[in-house]
Each structure stands twice: as C-alpha cells, then as structure tokens.
Amino acid sequence: MPTHAITLTVPAILSAEKILCIVPRERKKEIVLRTLEGPITAERPASFLRRHRDVHLFLDAESASLLPG
C-alpha cells in the first residue's frame, strides 16, 4: 500500500498532454461507473477526464465490474 500521495487540481491534470489513469480494486467500481456514465460535474471531479482529448483509463476486473459489456 502506498505511504505517500500527490494531490493535483483538476485544471492541472487536464493541462497535461496525455493522461494515464490506473484504477485498481473493487472499492472503486461505483466511482468508475459514475465517472464514465454519469454527468460531468464538480461533485465527481474525475468525470472531467471525459473532456480531455487523450486519456487512457486502465481498470482491473473488479473496478470495471459495474460497467456494461
């Protein structure tokens, strides 16, 4: 388990040329679903990733388990 983290603002993240987002674990499955399927809103900051032109989202089976298909 990581012992440190870096916090960035949404504008700082979205200013990147390319975004790689790795989302492991079952506890993230509802957030993944709301990020990809719900409205783009400040209540779910990750939803703003959908407005970026070059985002790669890497999910494991557990974090993707609520997604259709």
Name the nearest CA neighbour of 28 among 61, 68, 69: 61
Question: What are 11-59's pLDDT values in tens digits?
Answer: 999 999 999 999 999 999 999 999 999 899 999 999 999 999 999 999 9
Q: CA 65, 25, 41, 6: dihedral to nearest 10 degrees? A: -160
Angstrom distance (rounded) from CA 33 to CA 7:
22
Residue 1, pLDDT score: 76
CA–centroid distance for 9 within its chain: 14
Name the pTM for this structure.
0.81
Angstrom distance (rounded) from CA 48 to CA 36:
10
